[in-house]
Structure 1
Amino acid sequence: MTQANSNLSVDEALKILKDYSCLQIKIVDFEADKHKLRQAIKIVSDLCVTENLGICADSFEEGFKTLKSYLKALDISENVDPSPTAPRQTPIYIKFNTETMSYYVDYYTGSYRGVLISCQSDNHNLVGTYGHFPLNLFE
């Protein structure tokens, strides 16, 4: 999705993302809020050189499903094969790098569940870590 296909400006998109980027997790209650949040993530992602996605989930299956849904929504190939040695039925953390199309998986003992997106760009206004976003935002 390009900025021309959205009714949000880059500044509006950044403001929405920063509203979700705090120590208190903000709940996305309404479909209209989810729609704007999805648009904001896509706008900023389109303008970035690369992103890292950090996903904390209850299981590898849930985390991997989330990873694929975010990659698809960001128009990044979601053809990523799961590691056969990754922890399966325990809370996990996945760190995915869109530049190398590779990921790291580890056990996770924290209580947080969701997605963080770290953006890298030549435009310093776009650089930052955004989130906490819902696991199912793009499902």
Structure 2
Amino acid sequence: MAKLSWGGFDLDARWDLWFLGPTASSTRRRQPSTPIACLSSLSSSLAEDTMVSTHPTADLAAIRKRLNVLSCLKTPPALSAADLDQMRQDLATFNDLSDYQTLGICADTLSEAKEAMESFLAALGVTVTLDLPTREGAVYLKFNTLKGAWYLDDYSGPSRGVLITFHSSEPEYAELVGTYGPFPFTLFRP
């Protein structure tokens, strides 16, 4: 796995493995992005194509484009308040149109992962208090909103942040299906 760095951001074209867990392997591969293409599209994609429609089938391609700019990063970038607000709107739209979601978090501590998971789930309309076993060091925490089930393990990789996979069985919403992030742990904290 090649390690790249550009403009202070750590890049990783195979972050799929991060979402699947520390011991999982993936047969599905994302198309690798070049560091320049990824980072130059980050600010321009968040600034352009701003969603103006409140229709439930708002421009899913534009939302997907904005959310996909993070996919080549291992850690969430620092974003403006306006960019963070746009991300919250985009995630809310995809949440409303999806059947269910799967969240994956890699964090330095269990308390950081739990706090982020609970705040993201609350933003997605899922009320849950996670009763997790004590664990020291960096962790990988996964939650499936369809089953209400979680998975917790140690994590030794460099990735940090929150990934969200949106699932839909409706053909008209096929554009939203995918994994997005990494998002900052604090995206939905008050």
What range is the shorter-chain TM-score in? Answer: 0.7 to 0.9
Larger Rg: 2
Give 1:86 shift: 4.1
- Asked whether the equivalents of residues 61 and 175 of structure 2 are also in contact (C-alpha less than 8 Å), the reply is no
Higher relative contact order (CA 8 A, sep 6+): 1
Mapped pair 1:19 → 2:38: no
Aligned counterparts of 2:78 and 2:179: Cα–Cα separation in 1: 18
1:59 counterpart residue number: 109
Question: Percent sequence identity over matched residues?
Answer: 35
Aligned counterparts of 1:127 and 1:86: Cα–Cα separation in 2: 33
Residues matched between the structures, number: 133
1:80 counterpart residue number: 129
- Asked whether the equivalents of residues 54 and 95 of structure 1 are also in contact (C-alpha less than 8 Å), the reply is yes
Aligned counterparts of 2:94 and 2:143: Cα–Cα separation in 1: 17
Q: 1:112 to 1:97 in 2, by over 3 A?
A: same
Q: TM-score, normalised by structure 2?
A: 0.64
1:4 counterpart residue number: 54
2:12 counterpart residue number: none
Aligned counterparts of 1:128 and 1:108: Cα–Cα separation in 2: 23
- Asked whether the equivalents of residues 93 and 107 of structure 1 are also in contact (C-alpha less than 8 Å), the reply is yes
Q: TM-score, normalised by structure 1?
A: 0.85
Aligned counterparts of 2:153 and 2:108: Cα–Cα separation in 1: 12
- One-letter amino acid of the structure 2 residue matched with residue 92 of structure 1: V
Give 1:22 shift: 2.2
- One-letter amino acid of the structure 2 residue matched with residue 91 of structure 1: A
> For structure 2, which runs of at least 5 residues remain unmatched after alignment?
1-52
Alignment of 1:81-96 (within 5 A): 81-83=130-132, 85-87=133-135, 89-96=136-143
1:104 counterpart residue number: 151
Q: Deviations over 1:42-63 (max 9, x none)?
A: 1111111111000011111110
Give 1:32 shift: 0.4
Q: CA RMSD in A?
A: 2.1
Give 1:105 shift: 0.2
Runs of 4+ in structure 1 deviating by more than 6 angstroms, as ranges, are: none
- One-letter amino acid of the structure 1 residue matched with residue 102 of structure 2: N
Q: Deviations over 1:93-133 (max 9, x none)?
A: 00100001110000000111101111111232111111111
Secondary structure, in 3 states, of the residue corresponding to 1:66? helix
Aligned counterparts of 1:24 and 1:67: Cα–Cα separation in 2: 18
